[in-house]
Amino acid sequence: MTKADASLRIRQIIELETGVTPHLGHQSITIDLNRARARQTRLAFLPLAVGFLRFSVYAVVTVTTNILIWKEEIAYAGCNKWSAAQLVPTTWNQDLLPCPYTRTQATVADCCFALDKACKLGESCWFHQGRPQFQEESAVECYRSKGTNSYGAGGQCCYGQNGQLITTGTGAGSDDRYHSSHYIFKHFFHDVLPFIGCCKVSRDPEMCDTYLRHRPPRRGSNTNPQNGGAWGDPHYQTLDGLAYTFNGYGEYTYLAILEHDTATLQEITAAFDSTLNYTFMSQVRTAPLVETGNKVTVTKAFAAKSNTLGSQPIRMVVSRREHLLVYRGNEMLDLEPNLDSVNSNQTILLTFSDVTIEKEPVKKTITLTWPIGVSVKVSLVNIVSPAAAVVLNIGASLSSAFQGRTYGLLGNYDGNSANDLRNKNGQVISSNSTTEQIHRQFGTTWDIDPTKSMMYYEQNETPLFYSQQNVNYTPLFSLPRPSNDNLARQICHIGPESESSTWTTAQWTCFFDLTVTNDQALAQSSFVASQELHVTMSSYIYRLELSHELKYDLFQMFSALATQRCQLPY
């Protein structure tokens, strides 16, 4: 941080909090100014901005946090000086993702937005209170963009009591000149402090309007992020919502996103070309569970990489000893709590220039987030039957900006599930195909070129070995009868008289996995994974296109009825 970053000079500093103990990774500190004023008698004569201040720190920084409190006349002068130095927002806020229209949508937009811990439901949103004199709406919860643009900017989305996006006033989220996580100190001095000075300390509404012109509210869009995944004895749901089963043995392209400059119509509808440039590339490895006669396969490894400068592949593999190993490039990452940690269940966050890795021990999940607009959640499932093992369930969420540019087992993301089973050669397989047809004509074609593998290999393992298994392996194509049909139905939430043709994807995949493995943990995790995808996609709003205009004369009462049909992609 340089002197140029501290464009606001404060003559009076009052210490509100000291001795803040840093923890491993990234943390947030919330200071209650109202409580602090009660402790500090010196504050009685200052016109304080009372509320909450949020500071982010890293463990590598020696922390003694000093909170700054301003006099109003200082804030007024500082706001004017800050305003005079600002560039037009359009010079730095281009290519920021639009906000989801509703809070419900924001909660499931894992690829692109994360909860702002300074403004979450049920707690104070001091930074985003609307101005009563202008009848502005106050926020009850806000979300921040996970990614940044080429200028290092970030976006914030705030939602009102009705769950709708706020787009005007101080209750709205704003475009930040510097991303709150990527550029912590610059964000504080260029975005947070000016807001406090211009809108919280200053009582002049024109000063606050000046701030809002330089940090305009983030707008919404009808486009939604999209989700897909793989779970259990691998079952897949494409980004357009098509569910299918592919029990391959080998290494496959999970999700590839073609670079925008090369994503022409001719290329995206043609065969997959590994020599082209890809914004994002990911691969999965599936292998048989032991003691199943080699007929049941599960996901055992994952690798992914973005094309940003300095990016390293993230490699995750279940070792022969059934331990999860995580690498960035060739460096093994330590995702275990340190010995000094008071709580072994605390979330661990590692932040790199190209990717953020977050481990939640209680949920047994590791979330990988690339700022380009892609997030992958890896869930660990511990099974005991037919033998103790660790299985990986892998869910993906990506920005709608990548529509029309995807390849791999997660399908051709274009809003049409009928063409999702496009194989590596560019041929579309019918979505009504049998499991065997999908296996031979679609799934196995997505085996990776052994020379293009990003996977981690243990001793005596090679990419060529898995390539050969893809050709030679034949899985089960027909579902055997369960040993206890009534118990299987109970575990998978299926009615005793319910016909299989009426089962949901969650019920069917649960029943399948329980039947072939006899492991309740795997079956239940498959039910949960599928159900979560269903709930996520149900959260999105689908635009209804009207073929006729509704016209009326001003000041004339009228009524109209429009009947529309909307087919959800699952």
Q: Are residues 190 and 244 in the same domain?
A: no
pLDDT at position 43 is: 35
Q: Are residues 330 and 363 in the same domain?
A: yes
Strands 365-370 and 226-231: unpaired
- pTM exceeds cut of 0.85: no
Task: Tell which residue, 145, 156, 153, has the closest CA to residue 114.
Answer: 145
Q: Is the torsion defined by CA of 13, 17, 23, 27 positive or negative?
A: negative
Q: Tell which of 214, 243, 264 closes a domain.
A: 214
pLDDT at position 50 is: 36
Alpha carbon of residue 125 to chain centroid? 23
C-alpha separations of 239 from 221, 246, 298, 299 in Å: 19, 16, 20, 19
Cα atoms found within 13 Å of the Cα of residue 1, Cβ hemisphere only: 13
pLDDT at position 540 is: 62
As a dihedral over the C-alpha atoms of residue 1, residue 83, residue 115, residue 93, rounded to 10 degrees, the angle is: -90
pLDDT at position 381 is: 94
On whether the CB atoms of residues 270 and 426 are closer than 8 A, the answer is yes
- Evaluate whether residue 185 is within a structural domain: yes
Burial class, 87, CB count within 10 angstroms (exposed 0-12 / middle 13-18 / buried 19+): exposed
Task: Give the span between the Cα atoms of 565 and 349, in whole angstroms.
Answer: 44
Q: Are residues 175 and 249 in the same domain?
A: no
Q: Are residues 275 and 131 in the same domain?
A: no
Q: Tell which of 422, 453, 475 closes a domain.
A: 475
Q: Are residues 261 and 333 in the same domain?
A: yes
Across 196-233, b (16+ Cβ under 10 Å) vs e yields bbbbbbbeeeebbebbbebbebbebeebbbbbbbbbbb
Name the DSSP letter for residue 25: S
**pLDDT tens digits, residue range 192-208?**
989 988 998 888 899 99
Please list the rounded mean pLDDT of every run of 10 residues in the chain (570 residues).
Answer: 47 54 53 51 35 36 38 73 94 90 88 90 87 94 90 95 94 95 90 90 89 93 82 95 96 95 58 91 94 82 95 96 95 77 68 89 91 94 89 94 94 93 95 95 98 95 96 88 88 93 94 91 93 78 49 53 46
Q: Count of CB atoms within 10 A of residue 485's CB?
A: 13
- Evaluate whether residue 551 is within a structural domain: no
3-state helix, strand, coil in the chain (%, to 5): 25, 25, 50
pLDDT at position 62 is: 29
Task: Give the span between the Cα atoms of 354 and 374, in whole angstroms.
Answer: 11
The domain tally of the chain equals 2
Alpha carbon of residue 63 to chain centroid? 30
Task: Give the span between the Cα atoms of 537 and 519, in whole angstroms.
Answer: 28
Which residue range forms the structural domain that includes residue 128? 3-214
pLDDT at position 40 is: 44
Strands 52-58 and 141-145: unpaired
E strands, 363-457, in order: 365-370, 374-383, 389-398, 406-407
Amino acid at position 382, single letter:
N
What is the maximum span of the chain, computed from C-alpha positions, in angstroms? 81
Q: Are residues 316 and 355 in the same domain?
A: yes
Q: Tell which of 446, 475, 504 closes a domain.
A: 475
SS3 label, residue 134:
helix
- Evaluate whether residue 416 is within a structural domain: yes
Q: Are residues 123 and 264 in the same domain?
A: no
Q: Are residues 243 and 181 in the same domain?
A: no
